[in-house]
Structure 1
Amino acid sequence: MNDPRETLLANRRSNEASAQRPQSPRAHILFAFAVALALYTAWHVREELVLLYVSALFAVVLMPVVRIITNLRIGRWSPGRGMAILLLLIVVAGAATLFFAFALPPVIRDLHEFVGELPTRGPQLLDRIRKLPFAQRVDVSSLNAKLQDFASNFATYLFYSIKNWAGSLAKIVTGIILTIYFMLEGETAYRWILSFFPLEQRQRLDTTLAKAEVRMGKWLFGQGLLMLTLGVCSTITYSLLHIRYAYALGVLTGLLNIIPIAGALISICLAILVAAIDSWGHVLGVAIFYAIYSQVETSFLTPRIMRTSVDLAGLAVIVALLLGSALAGIVGAMVAVPTAVLVAVLLNEYAVKPDAVIAQPGSTN
């Protein structure tokens, strides 16, 4: 009768020999074709993959809020995950309703006034630019012609862009539905993906991704607070300066701030352009406001709201924005920072090595 230990040892040797056995060229060729087919398929469905990634990312970011709701206690009753997601949707829908009922009408009024005055206000702005010293080298007449052409054909541009708006709206609705499903069933999918990793590595990866989830959830709260702060301050400042379309510019400034750095710069440049229609004093006022606010945000708000939670260097944020916008436009820029947080956590865990202790010359151990 054979010894079980000898049988086990023989099986182990056989497995090691089969593992060390070189694979045939046919296996390498099939693997290369499989990789090429996967890349080809991913390229053709890249928009759908981006939508899935963004939905999953927002689900991860919103899960801390869902957990806070599930921890609430009303007597003996506590909401489950489905009820917590429903309550979150009700709160978001209520906030959107309040926004559309109270904040949107002044914005629509300002936009309607802007469109109506564009054919006359545009040439006035160009006349002011023409009087500047550096404008002598600029072909202002061609700019004036293009502006008048845009103003006269604005309705046509608007009509042709309805199709794009409808497609964007459909993607937004699809993204919301996918985000809800990821929040409901994402845990099952997450455990299924973890099952592909060896058991000894699974716990480490799970802990690392949990750290990333916490930091990404703090990013959403911090970014929302920064958006609200900049939007309110901008609206108040534009109103006090009597700048045209103050409500529209203030809301746009707050919303675009979801794109770090670039969003605020775009909205402030637009505000300066609108202020230049009336007077250079308004331009100076907007510039002073943004200079003061940027200093306050950089030295006070960002360190206390974002840097302590997200813990990303400014250079990392800028690089992430450049790569995100190059890969997926505005959507890529929106999710660039939380993606950078995820990459940073994974690199810190698996790639970054601690500094070795270097012995000083002449020192004894």
Structure 2
Amino acid sequence: MQGTGARPLLVAGIGTVAFVAALALAWHAADTLLLIFAGILFGVFLDGLARALRRVVPLGHGASLAAISLVLAGLVLGGVAFGGATLVREADTVSRTLRNQAVSVRDWLKEKGVDTRAFRFGDEGKGGASESGAGGNLPSPGALLSDAGSVLGQATAIAVQVFGAVGNVFVILALGLFAAADPRAYRDGLLHFVPPQRRARAGAIMDELGETLRHWLFGQLVIMAAIFVCVWLGLTLLGLDGALVLGLQAGLFCFVPTIGALVAGLVIVLAGLAQGWTGALGGLAVYLVVQALESYVLTPFIQKRALDIPPATIFAGQILLGVLFGLWGLALALPLMAVAKVLLDRLYVEDGLGERMPARRS
């Protein structure tokens, strides 16, 4: 009797310890887990394209995935070959313009009595170097070695960052390709860890998660492309330098709603300041019109069935995930919240509380 009564307590204790250990592991490996989630998103993207192709052309899953992968690779290489030089040239122009305008804004704030010591753009110290040169004093061998060590240190740091970024991209591409190659194998493998009587329900929830991510991802890509084209054309009509790069960054930042829009708008205004207040106000007007189109037309129409979450909840979730997990958490906040909403609706509200949620439209 005592052994029988102690068994549930032992199981509950083991379950609690396992749950806490899983949380600790997730916390310490958050960056890796978010990188894996990004790879899964890319796999969902490839699988969705392969499904769409199979509706048009009678191909198998492997052949359709190979065709989609070749087309995407060709588009990327073609874009780099034909538009890479233009992008590099405009990016350099926009970068120098932004730096100059940021320094001007900092100096203006300094004249108004605002403490701007935290805003450093790499222009400090030039005067000291020029003055040293004007005096005709040759640097000592120790100074030369110190400068060489500084340059090597900076080069090493840049190389590490570049290799890290390339490695992350490789991991995302590899995970996406592997996941899209045979998604059912991974789905069925996860279902083996679910009790047999719950596998049908778990399989339905997993299918709904995949459908939700597909709807959100393709809808977000459509919105990003629309914002890129509209901002590019609007700024081109205004005659702003670097319109292509400014439109591209606006479309990319749209992947992170609210916060990304604010950053993209600030970049456009700073770039427009190079042509005076008229250019800044014109760029701001273009971006406000595009954002109104995105907020009140595109997003409600395209994303309604994929992410039906109030804007304040989305903004709060972005801030929370950004503070906890940095840039990865901020960039992947929306798909993570979409996954969390499906799990809460199906596992907690329906299975836990017994309330029936409305079915999602496919």
The reply to whether TM is greater than 0.5 is: yes
Instruction: Say if 2:90 and 2:245, in contact at 8 Å, map to a contact too.
Output: yes
In the alignment, which residue of structure 1 is the partner of 2:124?
149
In the alignment, which residue of structure 2 is the partner of 1:310?
307
In the alignment, which residue of structure 2 is the partner of 1:103?
83
In the alignment, which residue of structure 1 is the partner of 2:232?
235
Task: Identify the match of residue 291 of structure 1 among 288, 292, 303.
Answer: 288
1:43-62 Cα shifts (integer Å, max 9, x gaps): 55443333223222332344
Task: Identify the match of residue 48 of structure 2 among 28, 48, 64.
Answer: 64
Q: Which amino acid aligns with 1:166?
A: F
- Is 2:74 aligned against 1:94? yes
Instruction: Say if 2:35 and 2:172, in contact at 8 Å, map to a contact too.
Output: yes
Deviates further, 265-274 or 91-100: 91-100
Shift in Å, 1:135: 6.0
Instruction: Say if 1:119 and 1:151, in contact at 8 Å, map to a contact too.
Output: no
> What root-mean-square deviation, in Å, do the aligned CA atoms of Structure 1 and Structure 2 show?
3.5
Question: Secondary structure, in 3 states, of the residue corresponding to 1:91?
Answer: helix
Give the TM-score taking structure 2 as reference length. Answer: 0.77
Structure 1: how far apart are the matches of 2:305 and 2:65? 28
- Is 2:223 aligned against 1:226? yes
Structure 1: how far apart are the matches of 2:302 and 2:11? 52
In the alignment, which residue of structure 2 is the partner of 1:264?
261
- Is 2:283 aligned against 1:282? no
Structure 2: how far apart are the matches of 1:256 and 1:226? 11
Structure 1: how far apart are the matches of 2:325 and 2:313? 18
Structure 1: how far apart are the matches of 2:3 and 2:89? 72
Alignment of 1:1-365 (within 5 A): 20-23=4-7, 38=22, 41-73=25-57, 78-114=58-94, 123-126=103-106, 129=108, 136-139=112-115, 142=117, 146-149=121-124, 159=155, 160-352=157-349, 353=353
Question: Secondary structure, in 3 states, of the residue corresponding to 1:235?
Answer: helix
Deviates further, 242-251 or 320-329: 320-329
Instruction: Say if 1:122 and 1:147, in contact at 8 Å, map to a contact too.
Output: no
Q: Which amino acid aligns with 2:76?
A: A
Structure 1: how far apart are the matches of 2:44 and 2:99? 46
Structure 2: how far apart are the matches of 1:235 and 1:104? 16
Structure 1 residues 120 and 194: CA distance shift in structure 2, 3 A:
closer
| Aligned-residue identity in percent | 22
Structure 1: how far apart are the matches of 2:25 and 2:118? 44
Q: Which amino acid aligns with 1:105?
A: A
Aligned residues: 330
Structure 1 residues 46 and 244: CA distance shift in structure 2, 3 A:
same
Instruction: Say if 2:231 and 2:290, in contact at 8 Å, map to a contact too.
Output: no
Q: Which amino acid aligns with 1:138?
A: V
- What stretches of structure 1 of length at least 5 have no aligned partner? 1-16, 357-365
Instruction: Say if 1:321 and 1:337, in contact at 8 Å, map to a contact too.
Output: yes
Question: Secondary structure, in 3 states, of the residue corresponding to 2:241?
Answer: coil
Structure 1: how far apart are the matches of 2:20 and 2:205? 30
In the alignment, which residue of structure 2 is the partner of 1:362?
none
Question: Secondary structure, in 3 states, of the residue corresponding to 1:279?
Answer: helix
Instruction: Say if 1:119 and 1:148, in contact at 8 Å, map to a contact too.
Output: no
1:169-215 Cα shifts (integer Å, max 9, x gaps): 11111111011111224322321221222233221222222222212
Structure 2: how far apart are the matches of 1:303 and 1:239? 28
1:57-89 Cα shifts (integer Å, max 9, x gaps): 33234423222233444xxxx332222221121
Structure 1: how far apart are the matches of 2:14 and 2:317? 35
Structure 2: how far apart are the matches of 1:346 and 1:34? 20
Structure 1 residues 228 and 201: CA distance shift in structure 2, 3 A:
same
- What stretches of structure 2 of length at least 5 have no aligned partner? 130-149, 357-362
Structure 1 residues 24 and 293: CA distance shift in structure 2, 3 A:
closer
Structure 1 residues 334 and 151: CA distance shift in structure 2, 3 A:
farther
- Which structure exhibits the higher relative contact order, with contacts defined as CA atoms closer than 8 Å and separated by 6 or more residues? 2
Deviates further, 118-127 or 162-171: 118-127
Structure 1 residues 53 and 107: CA distance shift in structure 2, 3 A:
same
Instruction: Say if 1:212 and 1:345, in contact at 8 Å, map to a contact too.
Output: yes
Structure 2: how far apart are the matches of 1:204 and 1:150? 65
